[in-house]
Amino acid sequence: MLGLGAQVSLRAQTYFGIKGTYSIPFNRPHEIKYDDADDLFIYRVNFIEQDYTPTVSLVTYYRKELIYLQGELAYRRAKTRFSADNFIDLQNITNTSVVKTTHSLDIPLIAGIRLDRFKLGVGPMFSIILSENELFGDIEFFEERRSSVEAGFGFQTGIVLYRLHVDLTYQFRFNGVGDYLYWRSDFKGFSDPVQFLDLGLSFFF
């Protein structure tokens, strides 16, 4: 009987639901110049912005007294915009705009405290790269070396309105916005860390 009561109590405090999220990135534009073997300036690449499509995720929430745990499984699509200037022919300088589209499975895990209707938590974030397109594939000395798993941390605050949870989460990723770019076998990418705010609305059953 004691074991059965413990199981019922556990189920009563564990919830499952769906979550919609809108992301607001705030990385600043940046440029990098690339030279050839004779140190002549031949390319300039500009990071312009990152953009995330709104996501829908599966979410689980567990609460025991002041402590809560929250985990999600979300499909995310990110678009990273660059522009490239080619100075090889100074009589015919060309500009090309390129977009890297990355499809990933995101797994944020949050642990924190809940006081009345308010919650505050922190935890690791993992992103598994499912697919992406290649940048500058037609330029001889450019190459990409990107890990299939990226990580970071999230800091969350939220309010609980019965079955609705409204969350604001700041995400800081350890990877840069374009740290996978290599030029002539040396790292020469954009190392500014990925940062964005997630505004989420969850409904639990």
User: Which residue's structure tokens are 């689980």?
Assistant: 60
According to DSSP, the β-strands at 186-187 and 190-204 are unpaired
The pLDDT, as a whole number, for residue 2 is: 41
Burial 46-65 (b: 16+ CB within 10 A, else e): bbbebebeebebebebebee
Dist. CA 117–CA 176, nearest whole Å: 35
- Specify the pTM: 0.86
Question: Per DSSP, which regions of the chain are E strands?
Answer: 14-25, 30-35, 41-52, 55-64, 67-86, 94-115, 118-132, 142-144, 149-161, 164-178, 181-183, 186-187, 190-204
Cβ 159 vs Cβ 136: under 8 Å: no
Does residue 49 contact residue 79 with C-beta atoms inside 8 Å?
Answer: no
Tell me the pLDDT tens digit for each residue of 123-146: 999 999 999 999 988 888 889 999
What is the DSSP-derived secondary structure letter of residue 8?
H
Identity at 161, one-letter amino acid code: L
Q: What integer pLDDT is reported at residue 49 of this predicted model?
A: 96
Domains by residue range for the chain, with CATH: 2-27+51-79+101-179+192-204 (2.40.160.20)
Give me the chain's average pLDDT, please: 91
pLDDT band at 90 (very low <50, low <70, confident <90, very high): confident
